């Protein structure tokens, strides 16, 4: 965004965002703002996310309760909750978790990550909002060791190969995968559309990025 565009967005936030709720603007409002200043909704969303302490709300996820949805995890629940909270922590805009960030596929959580491959983009999105979790079956039986918990199967298999060499990594993976009920925001961060699943969300957003290529 140019300096004039940023100034316009700041003034718009000050004039039109409710000061009590500090709610994130709706997608249709962002789209209208993008039209006014001749920019893209995604760029405006990233700027607002990084510069203003606003709260995203979603009627579809407002009833989600982490502990209610995952109480069946029992003794593992606290460790899982800490992990997910850590994933949700806001990252600096330059924290792309890699040295080179180039490509049309951009992080929708505002950390600055970019990539040329949709597979890498989706995997990155899940570092912010984990959809699958593996909690090592063997590590968690050791009271004196922090159990290995991760949201990527490839990293879990690597752990299994190095820490539990006598076992088949795929078998350990099957024993360790949690029945985790993840949260996701069905609202597209670029347009007013909503989706029914995380998979549909990712496919939908990827189409936006590919339309810009």
**If you average pLDDT over residues 127-137, what whole number do you get?**
95
Give the per-residue pLDDT at 117.
94
> Closest Cα to residue 134, out of 111, 153, 108, 106?
153
Going from the C-alpha of 55 to that of each of 102, 137, 210, the distances in angstroms are: 28, 37, 28
More confident residue, 201 or 141: 201
**What does the pLDDT look like over 32-62, one tens digit per residue?**
778 888 887 778 777 777 777 565 555 445 5
49, 105, 118, 208: CA torsion to nearest 10? 90
Band of residue 63 on the pLDDT scale cut at 50, 70, 90: low
Residue 97 pLDDT more than 90? no
Residue 173 pLDDT more than 70? yes
Start-to-end Cα distance in the chain: 19
Q: 0.95 cut: is pTM over it? A: no
Share of the chain above pLDDT 70, in %: 82
Residue 86 pLDDT more than 70? yes
HSE, CB side, 13 Å, CA atoms: give it for residue 203. Answer: 6
Give the per-residue pLDDT at 98.
63
More confident residue, 201 or 94: 201
Q: How many helices (H) and strands (E) does the chain have?
A: 9, 4
Report the relative pairing of strands 114-115 and 105-106 from DSSP bridges.
antiparallel
**If you average pLDDT over residues 91-109, what whole number do you get?**
75
Give the per-residue pLDDT at 54.
61
> Closest Cα to residue 33, out of 14, 51, 13?
13
**If you average pLDDT over residues 183-212, what whole number do you get?**
89
* Average pLDDT value over all residues in the chain: 83
1-57 has which fold? Arc Repressor Mutant, subunit A (1.10.10)
Residue 187 pLDDT more than 60? yes
For the chain, the domains span 1-57
Q: Any idea which of 141-145, 162-166, 194-198 has the lowest mean pLDDT?
A: 141-145
């Amino acid at each position: 965004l140019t300096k004039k565009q940023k100034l316009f967005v700041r003034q718009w936030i000050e004039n039109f965002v409710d000061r009590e709720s500090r709610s994130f603007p709706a997608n249709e409002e962002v789209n209208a703002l993008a039209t006014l200043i001749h920019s893209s909704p995604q760029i405006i969303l990233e700027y607002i996310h990084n510069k203003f302490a606003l709260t995203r709300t979603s009627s579809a996820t407002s009833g989600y309760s982490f502990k209610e949805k995952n109480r069946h995890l029992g003794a593992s629940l606290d460790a899982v909750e800490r992990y997910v909270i850590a994933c949700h922590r806001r990252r600096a805009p330059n924290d792309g978790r890699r040295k080179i960030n180039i490509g049309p596929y951009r992080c929708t959580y505002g950390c600055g990550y970019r990539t040329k491959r949709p597979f890498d983009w989706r995997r990155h999105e899940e570092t912010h909002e984990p959809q699958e979790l593996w909690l090592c079956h063997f590590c968690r039986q050791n009271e004196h060791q922090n159990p290995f918990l991760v949201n990527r199967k490839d990293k879990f298999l690597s752990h299994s190969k190095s820490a539990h060499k006598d076992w088949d990594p795929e078998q350990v993976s099957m024993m360790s995968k949690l029945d985790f009920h993840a949260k996701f925001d069905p609202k597209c961060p670029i347009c007013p559309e909503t989706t029914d699943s995380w998979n549909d969300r990712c496919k939908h957003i990827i189409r936006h990025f590919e339309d810009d290529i």
